Amino acid sequence: MKVTSSYQDGRLTLFLQGELDHHQAAAALKKIARTVDDYLPQDCVVDMGGLTFMDSSGIALILKISRLMDQSGGRAWVVNAKNQPLKVIDASGIDRMIKVEV
Amino acid sequence: MKQLNYIKLEFPARSVNEGFARAAAAAFAAQMDPTMEELGDIRTAVSEAVTNAIVHAYPDAVGLVQMRMRILAGDVLEIMVRDKGRGIPDVAKAMEPMYSTGGEERSGMGFTIMGSFMDGLRVRSAVDRGTTVTMRKRIRTKEPA
């Protein structure tokens, strides 16, 4: 699991790569929270294009990012989720709380 | 149901073993010729069940997690994940969506996902004696190419 980011014009994009499970989640959360604090972006795009697997730890991560952005008055959404991660998102129903662009 | 093949695994409740458990499950299930989607479902459900045992069963020690997988007649895969930890006082409550006693990296969606990705899910638990999660999935036989 790797998290990289890019920032331009108020928009922070987080690129998640590899497998996201509970073993990886705490470290990823910490890194993401620090990056959001560093930039205080208006928008936060969670790009899941490189994610080959995620379980419900990914749901917790998305909800946490959404809360972080709420606190600073910004918005967060998910893009590019592939088959398996997308199915987990669908099953969890969080697409009712946060925008998911396929 | 007639048992055609099985494996048993045992490992300490350490989070690094979550990835191993789902890789082992996928490797065993491969002989049933599942689709990529079915394989993804199996890996996801195993990840959830094993993570629950690792996060919740042994708060003060590193106990053992057992995983047993069986292939049953009729193209049915059965996965059992068992611990001998503190148990779940209220299984119905634990299975409610978004209910969690874990940390901020937990969403409370584990049982919901297990139930939605597998065809059958049964949870048995006794306080201070442990928890057994049993899941079944029928692997749809592919059309011949």
Q: What is the mean pLDDT of residues B56-76?
A: 95
Query: Which residues between 22 and 81 in chain A have a beta carbon less than 8 angstroms from any beta carbon of chain B?
Result: 22-23, 25-26, 29, 53, 55-57, 59-61, 63-64
Looking at residue A56, which CATH number applies to its domain?
A: 3.30.750.24
Residue B144 reports pLDDT greater than 60:
no
> Is residue B1 very low, low, confident or very high in pLDDT (cuts 50, 70, 90)?
confident
**B82-109: average pLDDT:** 88
pLDDT band for position B99 (50/70/90)? confident
Instruction: Specify the pLDDT at position B57.
Output: 93
User: ipTM for the complex?
Assistant: 0.92
Q: What is the pLDDT of residues A6-60, one digit of tens each?
A: 999 999 999 999 999 999 998 999 999 999 999 999 999 999 999 999 999 999 9
CB contact under 8 A, A55 and B55: no
Task: Count other C-beta atoms under 10 Å from residue B8's C-beta.
Answer: 10
Q: Is A87 on the interface with B (CB under 8 A)?
A: yes
How far does the CA of residue B116 sit from the closest CA of chain A (Å)?
Answer: 7
Structural domains counted in chain A: 1
> What homologous superfamily does CATH list for B3-138?
Histidine kinase-like ATPase, C-terminal domain (3.30.565.10)
Residues of chain A with Cβ-Cβ distance to B108 below 8 Å are 56
Mean pLDDT calculated for residue range A59-87: 95
pLDDT for the residue A47: 98
Domain positions in chain B are 3-138
How far from the centroid of its chain's Cα atoms is residue B78's Cα? 9
Predicted pLDDT of residue B72: 97
What are the backbone dihedrals phi and psi of residue B83, each rounded to the nearest 5 degrees, phi first? -130, 165
Among partner residues B18, B104, B107, which is closest to A59 by beta-carbon distance? Answer: B107
Q: Does B34 touch chain A (CB under 8 A)?
A: no
CB A24 within 8 A of CB A61: no
Q: What is the pLDDT of residue B143?
A: 58
CB-CB contact of B15 with B56 (8 Å): no
Average pLDDT over every residue of B118-136: 97
Average pLDDT of span B95-100 = 87
Cβ proximity of B60 and B85 under 8 Å: no
Q: What is the pTM of this model?
A: 0.93
With contacts defined as CB-CB under 8 Å, which chain B residues touch A25?
105
Average pLDDT of the residues of chain B: 93
Q: What pLDDT does residue B129 have? A: 96
CB proximity under 8 Å: B 62-81 to A: none
Q: What is the arithmetic mean of pLDDT over B75-98?
A: 93
Q: Is B31 on the interface with A (CB under 8 A)?
A: no
CA atoms within 13 A on the CB side of B126: 2
Task: Answer whether A66's CB lies under 8 Å from A74's CB.
Answer: no
Q: Answer whether residue B59 shows pLDDT above 60.
A: yes
Q: Looking at residue A19, what is its pLDDT?
A: 96
Band of pLDDT at residue B142, cut at 50, 70 and 90: low
Residue A86 has a pLDDT of 97
Provide, as residue numbers in chain B, all residues whose Cβ is less than 8 Å from the Cβ of A21: 15, 18-19, 22, 47, 51
Name B138's Cβ contacts closer than 8 Å, sequence gap at least 6.
B74, B75, B76, B77, B119
DSSP letters, B103-121, are -TT--S-HHHHHHHHSSEE
Q: Cβ of B40 under 8 Å from any chain A Cβ?
A: yes
Whether pLDDT at B112 is above 70 = yes
State mean pLDDT over B56-61: 90
